[in-house]
A and B are shown apart, each in its own frame.
Chain A
Amino acid sequence: MLSLGPLAFVAPWALGAVTFLPALWWLLKVTPPSPRTVRFPAVRLLFGLEAREDSAARTPWWVLALRLALALAIILAVAHPLVHPAQPLARAGEPLAVAVDDGWASARDWAERKAYLDEMLARAERADRPVVLITTAPPADGSPLTSSGLVPAARARALVQALEPKPWAVDRAAAARMVAALPRERSMAAVWLADGLDAGDGEDFARALQSLGGGLEIVTGRTARALLPPDPASPADRLLVTLRRLAGTDDPERVAVRALDAAGKVLGREEVMVAPGQDTATIALRLPTELRNRLTRLDIEGERGAASTVLLDERWRRRPVGLAGGGDPAAAPLLGQLYYVDKALAPHAELHHGEVSELLGRPLAVMVLADLPAVPGSTGERLEAWVRNGGVLVRFAGPALAHAASEARGGAPDPLLPVRPRAGGRSLGGAMSWTAPQGLAPFPESSPFAGLPVPTDVTVAAQVLAEPAIELNERTWARLADGTPLVTGVRLGKGWTVLVHTTANAEWSTLALSGLFPDMLRRLVALADGIAAPGGGDAALPPAELLDGLGRLTAPSGAAATLSDPARAVPGPRNPPGFYGDGAARLAFNLGPRVGTPSGLGAPSGATETRLGERAREIDLRPALLAIALVLAVVDLLAALALRGLLGRRGAAACLALLVAFGIAPSGRAAEADAFAMEAALSTRLAYVRTGDTAVDAKSKAGLAALSRLLAERSTAALAEPMAVSVETDPVLFFPLLYWPVTPGQAPPSAKAAEKLNDYMRRGGLIVFDAADGTEAALPALTAGLAVPPLAPVDEEHVLTRSFYLLKELPGRTAGAPVWVAAADATGTNDGVSPVVVGAADWAGAWAADERGRPLHAVAPGGERQRELAYRFGVNLVMYALTGNYKADQVHLPAIMERLGR
């Protein structure tokens, strides 16, 4: 390699050819281009006319320059010039060890790291050096760390392309062991693309790399920042988020934290300036309670990564809670019935005080009644209706309740109590009693309190007892040490009624004074949207959605295991950060609080240290030179033709147009794709899959066009002309419905196309497979790569039979074949709307009409009624695609039932 300042040549010997340029110049000069021929009537007058014999026909200077430039461009291209060539690390052929930190801390500038690796490996490839690729984060499949072994650089490049940062920390001790196990018959240069963090084992790893004998270059980039989840008990009006960055970072940074809801919408954004030398910053996100309850995610704007993303679960939601208490309102604060409830719930919930009737006037998730006997009259009925609609009613016992219980003995039981209290209370450890105040027993597994630690210092001195009943045991959520129920609860309609058999203040027990009390209340408030299912608990939570190394939520992969102890679990391949648990009761397992305080990595002596992005990128000039040579060659050809007069004006224009078209052809293709997307997206339209069978395609087109016209006549759905799509090349996500006629000769979609179609189905698209004319046999092969859910025939209840018209049968050109949709229990996503409709009735054949609206195909067994039903099915189908299960809404059921019965 020859270097001239920032320019270097890979094959400098080729530059020797430049010495031939003068020879070429002379040669071109003495061989003039052939003259152009002109036919001329008065040629007789020209015979014998010859001007003075000058240096003759010279090649025009610009042709000479053109050809010399062409030759020069080719010579330079062969010499392979590079601008800012990367310095070669060592001698050619010597093996190279490349260590990559692919833990969470590399995610911030992962793209740059990857580009650096690719460029470095390209250099290694040029130098024909074998490479050992060492990654330091444990692989996602749970297997132990392994190196790639000595592979050609091209293979290592492919491996790097597939590399992604992991959402957990690196394990350098294991990596150092792996390096120690590498074969050492030849010395090996090492490059370590480090994430800049040191967990105490960085130096050992660096030394292990140095021991390979070829020197060590440590390349560092920007280290990821960590975002700590806000304390669930942070002040009522704001979320306090802590940002932590690498200690000793000297440059000031402006950091913005975004708060997002489940749909990815940014609900809040706050900026903070982190001063030089400061390594933590606190950001206060102020959000109204309603918005705050929708948050699922906080992250740092402009940074992707697992540590810079905080997932929020129910712990951070705030629910409106109504508080109503009996007793003396003028009592001293510490004696008030609701004082402790208020203090315990205030950080987590939005609290409203007032009378029961007035509290019922506002939306509430939870109502706490402290020592209030049964609410009489209409207010009681409203309260019961509220509970049945999903409210959680938490009642605390007390003298008033105990008194009411003894009054109501033998009468109708209070429906808003889970158990029937026995008349008279029970007091323990009083002056007249031999028994000591009771402590708490561990919570039963089926209780919402399961897993809460039971403090030993809680004692209950008085309580209300429950009438023994068969169901008492399963309704008991907490007991005293002697087994008497302390908290009982039962479902009432969609809601819960809960009775705490002691007071909400310190009068009867010390429960309200303990740290258990806020936790218990929080669990009770969390019941409000039905989180704690009986049998749940914190035992082992299956992974629901997991963060990847770049901060994206993905479906759990095979290696992720259930999370058993969230408080002590360490994020790793078995427990990546993400959401764990079933359904709505999800627990957010965040990486941020578990990464500790990052400290910087120091370079060991003898290692060179460089930073990413400090060096200009290598630019290869060879492709550009070859392109220039090609263009010059074409221009030269045109010029030679023009000089000989063989090129008319029109010919020249055509050549020029060709040249221009040649140059812009790729962008033309992009423009075409753009045009397709614009056409497909600017108006709603149906689409059909181009099968390659001209007759079938024409039928699909005519059928969908006729259906679109019919929809415009009969409904407000104005659809544009249908479009043909190729599942391989065209994007399909623009279309609400994709009609796919099955033909025997159709090739199944490629893996890429299948992925695209799966994505389309997952995001709410509807694919209608029509296996008309006995082509069902081809269907399994065609859909092999697609994620088609389990299918079930359309029954009378299915939305497809009533999304616009009420239909009993769904015929097409042929009648009688069943129509299959995703089984009701198979579609958890998209509100149960089926992503596929499979039939064999040749619907397009029945819909297809010519431009005057006359049908193209006869229906079998026949009759206009069948065609009309086929059209009605088409309308229903499009309505299903456009509105989903809207018509399944129970609101319309009575009217539909009435009409069906008529």
Chain B
Amino acid sequence: MKEGQAQALAARLPPLLVAAERVAATVAGGIHGRRRTGPGESFWQYRPTQPGDPATAIDWRQSARSDRLFTRETEWSAAQTVWLWRDPSASMEWRSSRELPTKRDRAELLALALAALLLRGGERVALLSGALGPTSGGGALTRLAIAMDGEAIPPGPLPAAAGLPRHAETVLLSDFLSPLRDIDAAVRAVAAAGAVGHLVQVLDPAEESLPFRGRVRFAGLEGEGETLVRRTEDVRGAYAARLAAHRDGLAAIARAAGWTFAVHHTDQPPQAALLALHSRLSAPRAGGRAGC
């Protein structure tokens, strides 16, 4: 079901072409061009034959039309693997009202939609938690959804990046409400393997605005404990300041690792977030924070 929703969402965007800058070791023989010459099958351009070019590279038919010799160049086709992760922890299983999806639902939808786009573009996708290795082709999205369902909750804020190849491209969807110190450590561990990441913070609007009134006892969902607030209206400002500080911290962590950071709210349409991810994955990466 979520798969279908993700497919529908992805259908509205062009196939995602990951920037080919950092293909390096993860490159595998792919099916789409990289808009530059290289090994591949589709024609890219003719250029005058230069000394040193192998004679077999000369396109004789083209050369026969004029006096000069032309060499036929093909476009470089290659596929890249994108490693996806969405936070399966209890705090994601929350929504402030019946009309909104839970944060986890939204994160899953974004992950699958992104996967669908990538697969359409001929890329390969994998799960960062190790539940599914790089995969592509027709049934890949289904396999991904099934594997994602069975993902275990990591002990830390991010999964351990064991077995991640160098220069891998990762997309991490979570609410990132854990202490900044933990997140920083986890991001550093992943980035140490040379991976590049995109952090997307998925938040419920209520977490942004704290719309409660009166005397409320707040309890965490992951055993963080509880706190009694006598007048929630009074602490609203302080809470907003704390949230902003936390978010700045996250952005700083991402910047330090050369990653990107974006925020998405569950009351916004998922297309906006997907488009932003799409553009960040396909364009040469600009680090730092981006809102969406």
Residues of A within 8 A of B (CB): 32, 35-54, 56-57
Is B235 a contact partner of A50 (Cβ separation < 8 A)?
Answer: yes
Q: Which of B219, B227, B234 contacts A39 (CB 8 A)?
A: B219
**Chain B, residue nearest A39 (CB):** B219
Is B175 a contact partner of A41 (Cβ separation < 8 A)?
Answer: yes
Rounded to whole angstroms, the CA-CA distance of A47 and B235 in the bound complex is 11
Is A38 a contact partner of B219 (Cβ separation < 8 A)?
Answer: yes
Tell me which residues across on chain A come within 8 A of B243, comparing CB atoms. Answer: 42, 45
Q: Number of residues in B with C-beta < 8 Å to the partner? A: 34
Is A52 a contact partner of B220 (Cβ separation < 8 A)?
Answer: no
Rounded to whole angstroms, the CA-CA distance of A383 and B224 in the bound complex is 120
Q: Which of A42, A52, A54 contacts B177 (CB 8 A)?
A: A42
Tell me which residues across on chain B come within 8 A of A52, comparing CB atoms. Answer: 234
Is B218 a contact partner of A46 (Cβ separation < 8 A)?
Answer: yes
Any A CB within 8 A of the CB of B225: yes
Any A CB within 8 A of the CB of B229: yes
Is A46 a contact partner of B207 (Cβ separation < 8 A)?
Answer: no
Rounded to whole angstroms, the CA-CA distance of A47 and B239 in the bound complex is 10
Is B239 a contact partner of A46 (Cβ separation < 8 A)?
Answer: yes
Any A CB within 8 A of the CB of B47: no
Q: How many Cβ-Cβ contacts under 8 Å join chain A to chain B?
A: 94
Residues 198-238 of chain B, each 1 if its beta carbon lies under 8 Å from chain A, else 0: 00000010110000101111111100111111110011001
Any A CB within 8 A of the CB of B22: no
Q: Which of A32, A37, A42, A54 contacts B217 (CB 8 A)?
A: A37
Tell me which residues across on chain A come within 8 A of B246, comparing CB atoms. Answer: 45
Tell me which residues across on chain A come within 8 A of B220, comparing CB atoms. Answer: 39-41, 43-44
Any A CB within 8 A of the CB of B94: yes
Tell me which residues across on chain A come within 8 A of B177, comparing CB atoms. Answer: 41-42, 44-45
A–B complex contacts, Cβ < 8 Å, 12 sampled: A37-B218, A37-B226, A38-B216, A40-B94, A40-B206, A41-B177, A42-B175, A43-B218, A43-B221, A46-B235, A50-B229, A51-B229
Tell me which residues across on chain B come within 8 A of A46, comparing CB atoms. Answer: 218, 227, 229, 235, 239
Is A57 a contact partner of B215 (Cβ separation < 8 A)?
Answer: yes
- Residue of A42, A52, A54 with most chain B CB atoms under a 10 A cut-off: A42
Tell me which residues across on chain A come within 8 A of B207, comparing CB atoms. Answer: 40-42
Tell me which residues across on chain B come within 8 A of A54, comparing CB atoms. Answer: 230-231
Rounded to whole angstroms, the CA-CA distance of A36 and B212 in the bound complex is 11
Q: A45-B242, A45-B246, A51-B235 are in contact. Are A40 and B218 (CB under 8 A)?
A: yes
Tell me which residues across on chain A come within 8 A of B225, comparing CB atoms. Answer: 43, 47
Tell me which residues across on chain A come within 8 A of B214, comparing CB atoms. Answer: 35-36, 57
Rounded to whole angstroms, the CA-CA distance of A43 and B227 in the bound complex is 8
Rounded to whole angstroms, the CA-CA distance of A52 and B246 in the bound complex is 23
Is A38 a contact partner of B218 (Cβ separation < 8 A)?
Answer: yes
Rounded to whole angstroms, the CA-CA distance of A45 and B217 in the bound complex is 14
In the assembled complex, the CB of B182 is this many whole angstroms from the nearest CB of chain A, namely 11
Main secondary structure of the interface of A (DSSP, over half): loop
Is B219 a contact partner of A43 (Cβ separation < 8 A)?
Answer: yes
- Residue of A39, A48, A56 with most chain B CB atoms under a 10 A cut-off: A39
**Chain A, residue nearest B243 (CB):** A45
Any A CB within 8 A of the CB of B71: no
Ranked nearest first, the 6 interchain pairs of A and B with the lowest CB-CB distance are A51-B234, A41-B91, A35-B215, A43-B220, A40-B218, A49-B235
**Chain A, residue nearest B238 (CB):** A49
Rounded to whole angstroms, the CA-CA distance of A449 and B207 in the bound complex is 112
Is A57 a contact partner of B230 (Cβ separation < 8 A)?
Answer: yes
Tell me which residues across on chain B come within 8 A of A41, comparing CB atoms. Answer: 91-92, 94, 103, 175, 177, 204, 207, 220-221
Q: A51-B231, A51-B234 are in contact. Are A43 and B226 (CB under 8 A)?
A: yes
Is A50 a contact partner of B230 (Cβ separation < 8 A)?
Answer: yes
- Residue of A32, A36, A38, A40 with most chain B CB atoms under a 10 A cut-off: A40
Rounded to whole angstroms, the CA-CA distance of A559 and B234 in the bound complex is 90
Any A CB within 8 A of the CB of B179: yes
Q: Which of B217, B235, B239 contacts A35 (CB 8 A)?
A: B217
Rounded to whole angstroms, the CA-CA distance of A543 and B216 in the bound complex is 86
Is A56 a contact partner of B239 (Cβ separation < 8 A)?
Answer: no
Is A44 a contact partner of B219 (Cβ separation < 8 A)?
Answer: no
In the assembled complex, the CB of B233 is this many whole angstroms from the nearest CB of chain A, namely 8
Is A49 a contact partner of B230 (Cβ separation < 8 A)?
Answer: no
Is B212 a contact partner of A38 (Cβ separation < 8 A)?
Answer: yes
Additional 16 contacts, C-beta under 8 A, given A38-B212, A43-B219: A36-B215, A37-B216, A38-B218, A39-B219, A40-B218, A41-B92, A41-B220, A42-B177, A45-B177, A45-B239, A45-B242, A46-B235, A47-B227, A49-B227, A53-B230, A54-B230
Tell me which residues across on chain A come within 8 A of B239, comparing CB atoms. Answer: 45-46, 49
**Chain A, residue nearest B231 (CB):** A51
Tell me which residues across on chain A come within 8 A of B218, comparing CB atoms. Answer: 37-40, 43, 46
Q: A38-B212, A42-B177 are in contact. Are A49 and B217 (CB under 8 A)?
A: no
Rounded to whole angstroms, the CA-CA distance of A43 and B217 in the bound complex is 10
**Chain A, residue nearest B178 (CB):** A44
Tell me which residues across on chain B come within 8 A of A37, comparing CB atoms. Answer: 216-219, 226
Is B226 a contact partner of A36 (Cβ separation < 8 A)?
Answer: no
Is B235 a contact partner of A36 (Cβ separation < 8 A)?
Answer: no
